[in-house]
């Protein structure tokens, strides 16, 4: 054993080549070793949730700089790197991303851009929100202005994704999610967009609430234009649904007895309350004008045109003031058409016959109250009567044979009188007018068919020279 | 350690060969042996380096080179010991035969 130690004390010259070998090894192996460790550490952190991760390897020591989203995730990442075989030390330069209080996320849109701002809780959520925004609004530039922060409320993703769908429905505007309260402002892209957004917001995850919904919709427009030259009345714009559409067109066909109804209406949600009533009243007013246009924008009605005679202009203004549903505003710009040239009595009779050929005066069932749909025709009759100042006119009421003769006689008289009263209000002298009831004594057609009875129920104007 | 051995096996094998060679030579070598004082100094230096390496006190690349050097040195010593014992065995058999 002593010999062994003696020999061992002679091993030192070998240290010289060993030192050379060491130097060579250090020269050649350092960079490959560092690269190998970096690759392994990166691989082990592949599915770790970190932001701005930076790995640097010096010798066998790894420095990990990253933003973690929880204390647990931070420790886990450090432990994983420390567990890589060959790693000697892990220098911890990780930190937790700051906690946002309150946690605010925003989506802002103008026509060609969408900017997502505020905070997202995780990089994956951020990427998903951006992808969803790009998919929801094709062809619009999506800018990412989101930072990362902790402190997002539960179900943040679901809420934010739902709000991105809503930003797609806006033309411009801003949606702000602050913790669990949502604020919306802006202009909906389509008519009905505001209602669609309000409906979608009901699906927000539990606990989320709407602090302020200031989404505006484009005005709900309904337009009608009466053109006396083309003898048409053209409808454009929107109606709430098919039922209202059909009802309005049917009413228009009765009111505009002379004109062809050109229907270019489209159905859309978003109509203001009382739309159908307001449209009926406004169309009634339009039907009494010789030429005119009606624009309904939200709850504002603008009617302009020419009435047939001065009293009609006053009546139209007054009825718009009283008959419209509550909350509707009207701006009537009604002038009076210059009086037509006078004609003699025979021409007058001819004009009456022509008018009755196109439409008839209707009354409520078994009553002498004039149906409002007939006011347009009555105004044309009154205007014609005003053109023949010398003529005396008999207003003759007729009924069908249904019911008791005495009742029919009375009804025909009352109806004729109602028309006379209307004409007097229109400015005709009462002495030129006489109301006569004929009951069912002068039928035009057989009373055996419904069609025939309808023809027999009538008012006629007979000019007496 | 296993990682170091696997990654540097070529260099370690080199150190082992140098050690074997040195051990083989040392039995019949007529050179000056290291005095016990110097031997003690070497041992003290090595012990200090081992302590530094175990405590992970030297950072970065220097720390790694220190580990590498110690590993090579350990393998070298093992090579020397094996070489010495082999040569001694060969020499004693030769002496017995003559």
CA distances from A284 to A46, A84, A423 (A): 73, 86, 18
Q: Say if A2 falls within a structural domain.
A: no
- Assign A414 a pLDDT band (cuts: 50, 70, 90): very high
Q: How many contacts does A have with B, using Cβ atoms within 8 A?
A: 108
Beta carbons of A168 and A196 less than 8 angstroms apart? no
The predicted structure's pLDDT at residue A157: 92
What does the mean pLDDT of chain A come to? 91
pLDDT higher than threshold 70 for residue A1: no
The predicted structure's pLDDT at residue B91: 86
Closest CA in chain B for residue A13: B22
B72 vs A21: CB contact, 8 Å cut-off? yes
Question: Could you say which of A4, A18, A61 has the minimum Cβ distance to residue B63?
Answer: A61
Question: Could you say which of B15, B36, B85 has the minimum Cβ distance to residue A18?
Answer: B15
B80 vs A15: CB contact, 8 Å cut-off? no
- Assign A202 a pLDDT band (cuts: 50, 70, 90): very high
A169 with A231, same domain? no
A34 with A57, same domain? yes
- Assign A62 a pLDDT band (cuts: 50, 70, 90): very high
Torsion region of A361: left, alpha or beta (phi above 0 gives left; psi -120 to 50 gives alpha): beta
pLDDT higher than threshold 80 for residue A393: yes
A387 with A309, same domain? no
A72 with A121, same domain? no
For residue A108, the SS3 value is strand
Q: Say if A397 falls within a structural domain.
A: yes
Which element (helix H / strand E) includes A4?
Answer: helix A2-8
Query: How many degrees, rounded to 5, is the angle at CA A18 between CA A14 and CA A20?
Result: 125
Could you give the CA distance from residue A74 to residue A172 in angstroms, rounded to a whole number? 40
Question: How far is it between the farthest Cα atoms of chain A?
Answer: 163
A229 with A200, same domain? no
A298 with A390, same domain? no
Considering only CB atoms, which chain B residues are within 8 Å of A10?
26, 29, 31-34
Enter the tokens of residue A44: 């082990």
Could you give the CA distance from residue A456 to residue A24 in angstroms, rounded to a whole number? 123
Q: Where does a domain end: A76, A96, A116?
A: A96
- CATH number of the domain at A90, please: 3.30.1340
pLDDT tens digit string along A204-258? 999 999 999 999 888 889 999 999 899 999 999 999 999 999 999 999 999 998 8
The predicted structure's pLDDT at residue A21: 94
Strand order in the sheet with A181-188: A141-148, A113-120, A104-109, A170-178, A181-188, A209-216
Q: Say if A346 falls within a structural domain.
A: no
Strand order in the sheet with A329-336: A260-267, A232-239, A221-227, A289-297, A300-307, A329-336
Q: Say if A49 falls within a structural domain.
A: yes
A258 with A300, same domain? yes
Classify residue A218 by its DSSP letter: -
A73 with A114, same domain? no
The predicted structure's pLDDT at residue A50: 87
Could you give the CA distance from residue A89 to residue A200 in angstroms, rounded to a whole number? 53
CA-based nearest residue to A384, from A442, A330, A463: A463
pLDDT higher than threshold 90 for residue A20: yes
Considering only CB atoms, which chain A residues are within 8 Å of B36?
9
Residue A70 — φ and ψ, nearest 5°? -155, 155
Q: What ipTM was estimated for this complex?
A: 0.93
Number of domains in chain A: 4
Which element (helix H / strand E) includes A287?
Answer: helix A275-287
Q: Where does a domain end: A216, A239, A273?
A: A216
Enter the tokens of residue B5: 């051995």
Burial class (CB in 10 A: 0-12, 13-18, 19+), A282: buried
What does the domain layout of chain B look like in residue ranges?
2-26+34-97
Tell whether A88 is within 8 A of chain B (Cβ): yes
Could you identify the residue written with the tokens 């003699």? A344
Classify residue A341 by its DSSP letter: P
pLDDT by residue for chain B (98 residues), tens only, comes to 788 888 899 999 999 999 999 999 888 877 778 888 888 898 999 999 999 999 989 889 999 999 999 999 999 999 999 999 999 888 888 888 87
The three-state (H, E, C) secondary structure of A227-276, written as one string? ECCCCEEEEEEEECCHHHHHHHHHHHHHHCCCCEEEEEEEECCCCCCCHH
Q: Say if A148 falls within a structural domain.
A: yes
Beta carbons of A56 and A44 less than 8 angstroms apart? no
Beta carbons of A191 and A238 less than 8 angstroms apart? yes
Helix axes A71-82, A15-44, angle to 10 degrees: 150
Query: How many degrees, rounded to 5, is the angle at CA A179 between CA A175 and CA A180?
Result: 80
Q: Strand A260-267 and strand A289-297: pairing?
A: unpaired
Q: Which residues constitute the domain of residue A269?
A: 221-336
Considering only CB atoms, which chain B residues are within 8 Å of A21?
11, 14-15, 18, 72
The predicted structure's pLDDT at residue A206: 92
Could you give the CA distance from residue A80 to residue A74 in angstroms, rounded to a whole number? 10
pLDDT tens digit string along A158-171? 999 999 999 989 99
Beta carbons of B41 and B21 less than 8 angstroms apart? no
Which residues does A40 contact at the CB level (< 8 Å), separation at least 6? A84, A85, A86
Strand order in the sheet with A392-398: A433-437, A392-398, A458-464
Distance from CA of A22 to the nearest CA of B (A): 6
pLDDT higher than threshold 70 for residue A465: no
pLDDT tens digit string along A290-329? 999 999 998 999 999 999 999 999 999 999 989 999 899 9
Q: Where does a domain end: A169, A193, A216?
A: A216
- CATH number of the domain at A158, please: 3.40.1520.20
The predicted structure's pLDDT at residue A159: 94
Q: Say if A408 falls within a structural domain.
A: yes
Helices (H) and strands (E) in chain A, counts: 13, 18
- CATH number of the domain at A439, please: 3.30.1330.60
Beta carbons of B22 and A14 less than 8 angstroms apart? yes
- DSSP-based helix, strand, coil % in chain B, nearest 5: 85, 0, 15
Closest CA in chain A for residue B64: A59
A318 with A379, same domain? no
Closest CA in chain A for residue B3: A86
A203 with A112, same domain? yes
A125 with A151, same domain? yes
Could you give the CA distance from residue A339 to residue A330 in angstroms, rounded to a whole number? 27
Q: Strand A61-68 and strand A181-188: pairing?
A: unpaired
Distance from CA of A1 to the nearest CA of B (A): 11
CA-based nearest residue to B30, from A19, A6, A18, A1: A6
pLDDT higher than threshold 90 for residue A193: no
pLDDT tens digit string along A71-112? 999 999 999 999 998 899 999 999 999 998 899 999 999 888
Beta carbons of A69 and A76 less than 8 angstroms apart? no
A47 with A80, same domain? yes
- Assign A459 a pLDDT band (cuts: 50, 70, 90): very high
The DSSP code sequence of A350-418 is: HHHHHHHHH----B-TTS-PBPGGGHHHHHHHHHHHHH-TT-EEEEEEE--SSS-HHHHHHHHHHHHHH
- Assign A191 a pLDDT band (cuts: 50, 70, 90): confident
Tell whether A31 is within 8 A of chain B (Cβ): no
């Amino acid at each position: 054993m002593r010999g062994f130690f003696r020999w061992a004390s002679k091993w030192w010259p070998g240290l010289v080549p060993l030192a050379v070998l060491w130097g060579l090894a250090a020269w050649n192996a350092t960079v490959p070793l560092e690269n190998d460790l970096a690759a392994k550490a990166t691989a082990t952190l592949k599915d770790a949730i970190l932001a701005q991760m930076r790995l640097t390897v010096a010798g066998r020591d790894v420095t990990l700089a990253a933003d973690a989203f929880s204390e647990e995730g931070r420790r886990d990442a450090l432990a994983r790197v420390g567990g890589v075989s060959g790693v000697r030390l892990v220098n911890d330069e990780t930190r937790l991303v700051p906690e946002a209080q309150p946690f605010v996320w925003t989506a802002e849109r103008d026509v060609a851009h969408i900017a997502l701002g505020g905070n997202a809780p995780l990089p994956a959520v951020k990427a998903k929100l951006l992808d969803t925004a790009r998919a929801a609004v094709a062809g619009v530039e999506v800018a990412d202005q989101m930072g990362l922060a902790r402190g997002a409320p539960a179900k943040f993703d679901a809420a934010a994704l739902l709000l991105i769908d809503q930003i797609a429905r806006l033309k411009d505007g801003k949606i702000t999610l602050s913790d669990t309260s949502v604020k919306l402002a802006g202009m909906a892209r389509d008519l009905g967009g505001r209602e669609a957004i309000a409906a979608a917001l009901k699906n927000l995850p539990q606990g989320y609430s709407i602090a302020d919904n200031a989404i505006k919709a484009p005005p709900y427009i309904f337009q009608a234009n009466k053109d006396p030259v083309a003898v048409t009345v053209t409808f454009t714009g929107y109606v709430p649904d098919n039922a209202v559409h059909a009802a309005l067109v049917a009413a228009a066909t009765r009111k505009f007895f002379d004109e062809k109804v050109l229907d270019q209406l489209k159905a859309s949600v978003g109509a203001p309350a009382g739309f159908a009533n307001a449209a009926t009243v406004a169309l009634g007013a339009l039907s009494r004008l010789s030429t005119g246009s009606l624009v309904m924008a939200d709850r504002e009605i603008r009617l302009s045109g020419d009435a047939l005679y001065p009293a009609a202009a006053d009546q139209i203004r007054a009825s718009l003031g009283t008959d419209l549903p509550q909350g509707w505003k009207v701006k009537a710009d009604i002038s009076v058409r210059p009086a037509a040239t006078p004609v003699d009595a025979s021409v007058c009779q001819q004009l009456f016959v022509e008018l009755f050929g196109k439409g008839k005066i209707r009354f409520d069932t078994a009553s002498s109250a004039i149906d409002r749909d007939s006011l347009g025709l009555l105004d044309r009759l009154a205007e014609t009567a005003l053109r023949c100042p010398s003529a005396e006119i008999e207003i003759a009421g007729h009924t069908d044979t249904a019911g008791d003769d005495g009742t029919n006689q009375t009804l025909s008289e009352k109806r004729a009188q109602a028309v006379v009263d209307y004409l007097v209000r229109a400015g005709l002298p009462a002495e030129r007018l006489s109301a006569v009831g004929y009951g069912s004594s002068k039928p035009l057609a057989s009373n055996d068919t419904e069609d025939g009875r309808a023809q027999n129920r009538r008012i006629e104007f007979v000019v007496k020279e | 350690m296993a990682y170091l051995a696997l990654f540097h096996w070529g260099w370690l094998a080199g150190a082992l060969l140098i050690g074997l060679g040195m051990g083989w030579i040392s039995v019949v070598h007529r050179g000056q042996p290291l005095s016990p004082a110097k031997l003690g100094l070497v041992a003290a230096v090595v012990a200090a380096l081992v302590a530094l390496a175990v405590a992970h006190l030297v950072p970065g690349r220097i720390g790694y080179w220190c580990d590498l050097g110690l590993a090579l040195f350990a393998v070298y010593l093992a090579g020397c010991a094996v070489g010495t014992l082999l040569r001694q065995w060969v020499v004693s058999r030769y002496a017995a035969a003559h």
